Each structure stands twice: as C-alpha cells, then as structure tokens.
Amino acid sequence: MVDSGSIGLHDLSFATTRFVLPHTELARHNGTEIDKYHLGIGQRSMSVPAVDEDIVTMAAAAARPLVARHGTDGLRTLVFATETSIDQAKAAGVYVHSLLGLPSSTRVVELKQACYSATAALQFAVALVHRDPGQRVLVIASDVSKYDLDSPGEATQGAAAVAMLVSADPALLRVEAPSGLFTADVMDFWRPNYRDTALVDGQESISAYLQAVEGAWKDYGEQGGRGLEEFTAICYHQPFTKMAYKAHRHLLHCCGEDTDDALIARVLGRTTAYNSVVGNSYTASVYLGLAALLDTAEDLSGQAVGFLSYGSGSVAEFFAGTVVPGYRAHLRTNTHREAIDAREPIDYAAYRDLRGSRLPADGTEHLLPRQTQGPYRLAGICDHKRLYEPC
C-alpha cells in the first residue's frame, strides 16, 4: 500500500474542436450587446464540433499524447466521464480503447452525473491505484454542450475533452484524501433521453450550484480539510466563467471572509483562461480550469489547489491537491495553446449548418465528409453502428 497523498495526476492533456464561434458573431445575430457575453457571463467564444467530431474523437485526441509519452504498461483501467453519451449501453471509452490500441486486459466504464462525473472518475482512479500502486488509470472527461438555438443557454455552449493519467508518485498534482460531498434532488438542468438539447432553469441552477458549494465545503471542513486561506487557487466547475466568481464570492461570504474583487481574481483568474474561449465542456470544465492554471501561473510547486466539482441535479464535491515540485517540466502548455489557436472561426450561418447535421436514426449507411483536423474522426454510421477511424 502507498499513502493516498502520493497518488494523483501524473499527466494531463486536452483537446477541442476544429471550429470556433466568436461571441461577436452570436451577438451580431441576436442583437445582444457584446458586453453581456464578454463581461456578463465571461465568455468570448465557443468551440463547435465539425460533423465528424464527437465526444469519442475529442477523447481519443486528448488521451493520445499520454499514451505516446508513458506507454500502456500498468494501464488497466479507462474511466470515461460524460453527460453527452452516444449510446445507452456501450461505453464511449470502448471506442477510445480501440482507437488508442490499448491492451485487452483493460477495464473500461462510463460514468454519468451531469458535469460532476469526472471527479467521481478521478476518485475511483485514486482508490484503484491506492489498492495496487503498480496500476495506472486513464480518466477522460469529454462533452459537447448544446442548448436550444436562440435560448439563453446558447451563449454558454462549448466542447472539449480532458485526459488525465492517475498514478502513484505523480508528476503534476497529489490528490489529498479529504473530500466534502453534497447531493440534493433538484431539477435545475436535465436532458431526457428523447432530447438532443438540455433543459435548464437558469435561476434555479445558479441557486442549486451555490447551495452545493456551501454544502460540499461544510462537509469538507467536517472531514478535516484545509482552511480556505491555505489555497493559492480554486478550480470551480465553469458553466460560464462568471459562475466561478459567483461561487467563490458565496463561499467567502459563508466563511465570513472578505469578498474583495482583487483577492477573488487572484484565486480564480488564471483558472478561467481556457474555459472563457472554449465554452462549457461539462465534465471536462473543472479540469480544463486546472490545465489553464498550471499552464499560465507562476511556479505553484508545493502549493495547495482546491477543486469544486458540481453536476446539476445535483451532486458536488470539494477536494484539494498539492502541486508537485518540478511539475512545469511535464506540462503541455504549447500544445494546449495551439489546440485553441488552431480553431477555425466560423460565422453564425456556418454554425447553424453544423448544428443541423444529424445522423440517420433508421440505421442506413451514412458517410460523413472529412472536416476535422484532429487525429481521429467519426467516419459515419452503418447498421446503427458508429464507425471511427484514424485520420
């Protein structure tokens, strides 16, 4: 056995889509003042999938660099977290397993609980490694967020995948043992099986999020967690980046702390750099915040980072990690920035065309045009079977 404090993130990589819709285009379409987006919700653009991109292609693209760097020895589990699953039975991770050529002696499972499930996957992975320190676990969070066209949620859409390799003696972040947990049965955001887009009660969702922050933090303290003053930064789930600021301000208020804007910005500012231009990536969101923090902050070696993971419906967890000295030598900062900068801007009409693309529901053969510039693509569907291929 190993101490749980010596288990955590050994590597992290993310991927997004080929296309991006700037919020200036959305504002031009609907006549909204651009400050409502740039300042009001803190969003500047949203990633938009090509017709041959989905949660599987993004997930495989995010995980490929981890497998290339570390190989597959000891990799016995792949946990795929998503709330935009492509199948009611088969885990999306099985397709990723095939595309990456992982060993057959691998456990693959998919987890779901709105935007929270990647944190459940991470905790699952930590427990597996604690039981057998020779194992490594691949955790992937991948989602495409969609809301009805011309709805208030449309401006918060996005798409991304984050892949994390969990191991003993990690190179990036040690995950600490105490977790604060919170669950409440609320209908703030949900997507029935018969819908492609989510349903959301905006005000209820904000209230439920803040209630979950307070509840998870209270339980974290009762489990012996750190004091709020110990955290250099906190990565919140970001359905839109200003929600992280609302959440942290609420937490400070609950703790009787000063809600000074400059102090809040120091704790949160760097965690929003990627989410503000990618949009809401659901399960990947909080870990996209971690990627941004590690890529843009000064040396964080030995410092504590907090995580508040929230999934509507609702489930939340607060936990902490310690940044490993020397972590910067293992980052993929340039690759991450290239993934964002390489996206092709599109106008609103092109975005509407992409949103209108549908696979047939009758199982007939339907091949998709090659649009993605990523390493994997959804080639089409035949006999109700999705067909993936390397590019």
Catalytic residue among 25, 97, 110, 115: 115
Residue 167 in contact with residue 129, Cβ under 8 Å?
yes
Q: Which two tokens stand for residue 305?
A: 């980072």
Cα 351 from Cα 345, distance rounded (Å): 10
Q: Is 235 a catalytic residue?
A: no
Per-residue pLDDT tens digits of the chain, which is 391 residues long = 345 459 999 999 999 999 999 999 999 999 999 999 999 999 999 999 999 999 999 999 999 999 999 999 999 999 999 999 999 999 999 999 999 999 999 999 999 999 999 999 999 999 999 999 999 999 999 999 999 999 999 999 999 999 999 999 999 999 999 999 999 999 999 999 999 899 989 899 999 999 999 999 999 999 999 999 999 999 999 999 999 999 999 999 999 998 889 989 999 999 999 999 999 999 999 999 999 999 999 999 999 999 999 999 999 999 999 999 999 999 999 999 999 999 999 999 999 999 999 899 998 999 999 999 999 999 999 999 999 999 9
Catalytic residue among 53, 83, 110, 176: 83
Position 311 scores a pLDDT of: 97
Q: Which residue type sits at 201?
A: D
Position 202 scores a pLDDT of: 85
Position 104 scores a pLDDT of: 97
Cα 76 from Cα 59, distance rounded (Å): 17
Cβ-Cβ contacts under 8 Å for 144 (sequence gap 6 or more): 49, 54, 55, 84, 159
Q: Which one-letter DSSP state was computed for residue 4?
A: G
Cα atoms in the 13 Å half-sphere on the side-chain side of 195 = 13
Count of H-run helices and E-run strands, the chain:
12, 17
Domain spans of the chain, in order of start? 4-390
Q: Is 154 a catalytic residue?
A: no
Q: Is 115 a catalytic residue?
A: yes
Angle at 56 between CA 53 and CA 57, to 5 degrees: 45
Secondary structure class of 314 (helix, strand, coil): coil
CA gyration radius, the chain:
20
Position 2 scores a pLDDT of: 43
Q: Does domain 4-390 have CATH number 3.40.47.10?
A: yes
Catalytic residue among 10, 23, 97, 237: 237
